[in-house]
Structure 1
Amino acid sequence: MADEYAWLVCDQGPISVVLTDPGPRPVEAVKVVRRRAGLSLWHSKSLISRLPAIVLEDVTQEVAEATVRELLEAGAHAEVRE
């Protein structure tokens, strides 16, 4: 019952950050992914090589938007998906 109530109050589903293109500076995108997702350098590079890639899953709207903003500043293309 509590889960149902929480779903009704927070009518927003799980939010993910999806990287669609590393852009002209993939090293900068790797740095952002590494910092935001807490992954190792190897895992970050591996994630960026398989696009589209989910960088973060089940995060708040604020965290997702901040991560997308950082990726865009690094020259990458990313989006928030529900």
Structure 2
Amino acid sequence: MADEYFVLICDNVPTAVVLTDFGPQVIEVVKVLRRRTGLSLWQSRSLLDRLPATILEDVSEDLAEATVCELLEVGAKAEVRRQA
């Protein structure tokens, strides 16, 4: 009797957006955080005090990439991390 092994391929791997540095334009970064996460002004600003901070979890790769691009445009440093 032969053993069969299967590899599961998942295209929708959940990703997270991690903010690692807010850069010189703090106000612009807070605006992006508010727009992308729906957090209040105070909550968005408090995330910057706890870097690195995961700002989005379990989102599609497209949304994660768009958020990272928007953060990079305003001078912040962010990255997309795949979740296990």
| Corresponding residue of 1:39 | 39
* Residue pairs, 1:52-71, within 5 angstroms: 52-71=52-71
TM-score of the superposition, structure 1-length normalised?
0.85
Deviation at 1:9, TM superposition (A): 4.5
Deviation at 1:13, TM superposition (A): 3.5
Higher Rg? 2
| Corresponding residue of 2:4 | none
| Corresponding residue of 1:79 | 79
TM-score of the superposition, structure 2-length normalised?
0.83
Runs of 4+ in 1 over 4 A off after TM superposition: none
Is the CA contact 2:12–2:60 (under 8 Å) kept in the aligned structure 1? no
Matched residue count: 75
